[in-house]
């Protein structure tokens, strides 16, 4: 069988076969959300903890809905209301959570590697819901699912990822995932926010990564445009003069989008800053799949919970 | 895993005749095709449901709608079957409320698959009646479930395996009893 992992920590270590298993499984789960009774008994009696140290609306809600549609019990903890604020170390928190015997823990943390550390300490499956600027595997998987749904196949597609590449775990997870599936990824953004060696982060694959100097270069003839949010909360220095200037040089407008392929689709992991990285006309256009991404996110997370929590425990 | 062939139960013509009889019995029992919906249980129940629907179309001049059920998400052995099984899509083309549903499967054995299929169906609505048609009933029920239409009843032992092979998935078209070597 193509999937027998304990944890989902990143897209970097996934095999092509594992990725396809997740995406195929998600396709079947998408149907469940269209029923009038949107619930199947598959994970009845399983407990899933959503542990979010960073703010999140979409990802946390998506995981919670995914768990509930599979009949699992979902418990949400956020850092502000937890014992973390009382000085408990992460390791102690993890041990305490483990003592309550959850089957899976979804964790989001501002420090890279926290989910990996946790995975070694607890028996529950750990799902990385975003660790700093490192990885956000479920977002990349739902992006790949959305692209595949529209374009049929990822191999050979030109995918432009534009914006704050440096601070973006979405860009990193997508770079690994999309190239494994044979897509050609082009990244662009302000020089200060694009690591020049970004094309070296992926291993041998069918696809490729190109670092572009100008947004126009990345957009030209692309099949998919993925816009990233400017993450002011991760910026300690002045990487660009002002949001206004960023928007002028790197914002996606209808005029710039005209450079892409006529069938080009536009994606954004959210939350969208209208008028900064993307104009309102583009977000609301028929090419924008922003809300499809959110719908598909539930199906992809159901598939992941099913594949991890439903696994054989030896 | 190798299997030793013990006996052949049906050939292609035998399967065809059995399905024709099932089709006749279904329309006779339901006095025609009104509100009838045939649902095949994945995998081999799906082509069987299609074939029965074709045969009903020949008999009655109207082909009842068909669909497919994937019962993976309703199984009672998910934590014991090993790595997560492949989940396929359930596809029910019409509202099941007030329909007369005929579930179609290849082999009726423990009855657990049918239990799962019934649970899934109820989540889609309230059918007027649910019936069960199987090509082979091999006994050894673990739940109080019986078929309404049976192609052939087989006496089997627990270590025997009844294999229904259909051209849609297999190279041949036959029903055989095999044993693990």
Q: Which domain holds residue B53?
A: 3-77+86-180
pLDDT of residue B22: 97
Predicted ipTM of the assembly: 0.76
A252, part of any domain:
yes
Which residue in this structure is represented by tokens 């998935």? B169
pLDDT tens by residue, A193-208 = 999 899 999 888 889 9
pLDDT tens by residue, B106-160 = 999 999 999 999 999 999 999 999 999 999 999 999 999 999 999 999 999 999 9
Number of Cβ atoms within 10 Å of the Cβ of B30: 17
Can you list the alpha helix ranges (DSSP code H) found in A33-113?
58-69, 90-98
CA distance B17 to chain A (A): 34
A10, part of any domain:
no
**How many CB pairs below 8 A link A and B?**
53
A8, part of any domain:
no
A186, part of any domain:
yes
Q: Is residue A197 located within the same domain as residue A148?
A: yes
Q: How far is CA A65 from the centre of its chain?
A: 16
Q: What is the mean pLDDT of residues A280-287?
A: 96
pLDDT of residue A25: 93
CATH no. for residue B72?
3.40.50.2020
Q: Is residue A198 located within the same domain as residue A235?
A: yes
Q: Is residue A124 located within the same domain as residue A147?
A: no
Q: Is residue A209 located within the same domain as residue A126?
A: no
Residue with the bigger pLDDT between A91 and A166: it is A166
Mean pLDDT of chain B: 92
CATH no. for residue A156?
3.40.50.1370
Check B74 against A40: CB less than 8 A apart.
yes
Check A310 against B84: CB less than 8 A apart.
yes
Beta carbons of B107 and B138 less than 8 angstroms apart: yes
Least confident of A76-85, A91-100, B37-46, B122-131: A76-85
Which residues of A lie closer than 8 Å to B, measured between beta carbons?
Answer: 1, 3-4, 24-25, 27-29, 31-32, 35-37, 39-42, 70, 303, 306-307, 310-313
Q: Is residue A209 located within the same domain as residue A64?
A: no
Q: What is the mean pLDDT of residues A168-191?
A: 96
Q: What is the mean pLDDT of residues A119-123?
A: 93
Cα B45 to Cα B134: distance, rounded to the nearest angstrom? 8
Check B79 against A3: CB less than 8 A apart.
no
DSSP bridge pairs for A290: none
Nearest chain B alpha carbon to A305? B84
Nearest residue, CB atoms, B124 vs list A1, A3, A35: A35
pLDDT of residue A86: 77
pLDDT over 70 (residue B84): no
Q: What is the mean pLDDT of residues A15-29?
A: 94
Cα A210 to Cα A188: distance, rounded to the nearest angstrom? 9
Element (H, E) at A145: helix A137-151
Nearest chain B alpha carbon to A30? B89
Check B78 against A313: CB less than 8 A apart.
no
Nearest residue, CB atoms, A1 vs list B73, B83, B123: B83
Q: Is residue A141 located within the same domain as residue A287?
A: yes
pTM over 0.90: no
Check A40 against B73: CB less than 8 A apart.
yes
Mean pLDDT of chain A: 92
CA distance A5 to chain B (A): 9
Task: Provide the domain count of chain A.
Answer: 2
A98, part of any domain:
yes
CA distance B72 to chain A (A): 8
pLDDT over 70 (residue B56): yes
Tokens (6 digits) for B53: 């629907």
Q: Is residue A273 located within the same domain as residue A209?
A: yes
- Please report residues of B whose CB lies closer than 8 A to that of A27: 89
pLDDT over 60 (residue B81): no
Task: Provide the domain count of chain B.
Answer: 1
- CA-to-CA dists, residue A182 to A140, A157, A179, B17, angstroms: 14, 8, 5, 49
Tokens (6 digits) for B42: 């994945």
- Please report, rounded to a whole number, the percentage of residues in chain B having pLDDT higher than 70: 96
pLDDT tens by residue, B7-49 = 999 999 999 999 999 999 999 999 999 999 999 998 899 999 9
Q: Is residue A157 located within the same domain as residue A51?
A: no
Q: What is the mean pLDDT of residues A226-240?
A: 81
pLDDT of residue A4: 86
Check B74 against A42: CB less than 8 A apart.
yes
Q: Which domain holds residue A167?
A: 137-291
pLDDT of residue A311: 64
pLDDT over 90 (residue A135): yes
Check B119 against A41: CB less than 8 A apart.
yes
- CA-to-CA dists, residue A202 to A39, A116, A149, angstroms: 38, 19, 24
Check A1 against B70: CB less than 8 A apart.
no
Per-residue pLDDT band for A314 (boundaries 50, 70, 90) equals: very low
Q: Is residue A274 located within the same domain as residue A200?
A: yes
Beta carbons of A170 and A231 less than 8 angstroms apart: no
Q: Is residue A301 located within the same domain as residue A272?
A: no
pLDDT of residue B82: 58
pLDDT over 90 (residue A30): yes
Long-range contacts of A236-245 (CB under 8 A, 24+ apart): A239/A164, A239/A190, A239/A192, A239/A193, A240/A190, A240/A192, A240/A193, A243/A276
A147, part of any domain:
yes
Number of Cβ atoms within 10 Å of the Cβ of A179: 24
Q: What is the mean pLDDT of residues A219-229?
A: 97
Cα A44 to Cα A72: distance, rounded to the nearest angstrom? 5
Q: Is residue A144 located within the same domain as residue A238?
A: yes
Q: Is residue A129 located within the same domain as residue A146?
A: no
- Strand B174-180 relative to strand A73-78, pairing: unpaired
Nearest residue, CB atoms, A312 vs list B82, B89, B120: B82
A126, part of any domain:
yes
Per-residue pLDDT band for A238 (boundaries 50, 70, 90) equals: confident
pLDDT over 90 (residue A310): no
To test the contact with chain A by mutation, choose from B84, B112, B125 the residue with the greatest count of A C-beta atoms within 10 A, namely: B84
pLDDT tens by residue, A245-262 = 999 999 999 999 999 999
A243, part of any domain:
yes
């Amino acid at each position: 069988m193509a999937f027998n992992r304990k944890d989902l920590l990143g897209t970097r270590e996934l095999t092509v076969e594992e990725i396809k298993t997740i995406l195929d499984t998600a396709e079947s789960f998408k149907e469940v959300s269209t029923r009038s009774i949107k619930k199947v008994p598959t994970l009845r009696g399983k407990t899933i903890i959503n542990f979010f140290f960073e703010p999140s609306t979409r990802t946390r809600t998506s995981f919670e809905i995914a768990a509930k549609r599979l009949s699992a019990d979902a418990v949400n903890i956020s850092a502000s209301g937890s014992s973390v604020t009382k000085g408990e170390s992460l390791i102690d928190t993890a041990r305490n959570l483990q003592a309550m015997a959850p089957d899976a823990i979804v964790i989001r943390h501002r420090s890279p590697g926290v989910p990996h550390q946790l995975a070694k300490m607890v028996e529950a499956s750990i799902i990385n819901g975003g660790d700093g600027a490192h990885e956000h595997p479920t977002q990349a998987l739902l992006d790949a699912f959305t692209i595949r749904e529209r374009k049929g196949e990822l191999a050979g597609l030109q995918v432009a990822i534009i914006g704050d590449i440096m601070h973006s775990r979405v860009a990193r997870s997508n770079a690994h995932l999309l190239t494994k599936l044979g897509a050609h990824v082009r990244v662009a953004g302000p020089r200060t926010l694009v690591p020049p060696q970004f094309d070296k982060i992926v291993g041998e694959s069918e696809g490729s990564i190109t670092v572009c100097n100008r947004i126009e270069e990345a957009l030209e003839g692309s099949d998919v445009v993925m816009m990233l949010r400017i993450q002011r909360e991760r910026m300690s220095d002045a990487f660009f003069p002002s949001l206004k200037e960023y928007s002028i040089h790197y914002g996606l407008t209808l005029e710039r989008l005209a450079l892409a392929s006529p069938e080009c689709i536009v994606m954004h992991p959210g939350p969208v800053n209208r008028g900064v990285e993307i104009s309102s006309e583009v977000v609301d256009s028929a090419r924008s799949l922003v809300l499809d991404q959110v719908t598909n996110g539930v199906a992809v997370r159901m598939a992941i919970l099913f594949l991890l929590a439903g696994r054989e425990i030896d | 895993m190798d299997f030793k062939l013990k006996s052949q139960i049906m050939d292609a013509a035998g399967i065809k005749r059995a399905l024709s009889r099932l089709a006749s019995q279904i329309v006779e029992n339901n006095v025609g095709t009104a509100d009838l919906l045939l649902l095949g249980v994945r995998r081999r129940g799906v082509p069987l449901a299609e074939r029965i629907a074709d045969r009903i179309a020949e008999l009655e001049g109207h082909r009842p709608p068909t669909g497919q059920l994937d019962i993976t998400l309703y199984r009672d052995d998910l934590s014991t079957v090993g790595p997560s099984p492949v989940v396929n899509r359930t596809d029910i083309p019409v509202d099941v409320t007030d329909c007369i549903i005929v579930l179609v499967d290849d082999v009726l054995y423990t009855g657990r698959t049918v239990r799962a299929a019934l649970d899934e169906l109820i989540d889609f609505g309230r059918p007027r009646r649910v019936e069960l048609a199987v090509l082979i009933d091999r006994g050894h029920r673990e739940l109080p479930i019986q078929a309404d239409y049976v192609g052939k009843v087989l006496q089997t032992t627990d270590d025997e395996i009844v294999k229904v092979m259909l051209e849609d998935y297999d190279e041949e078209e036959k029903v055989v009893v095999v044993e693990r070597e």
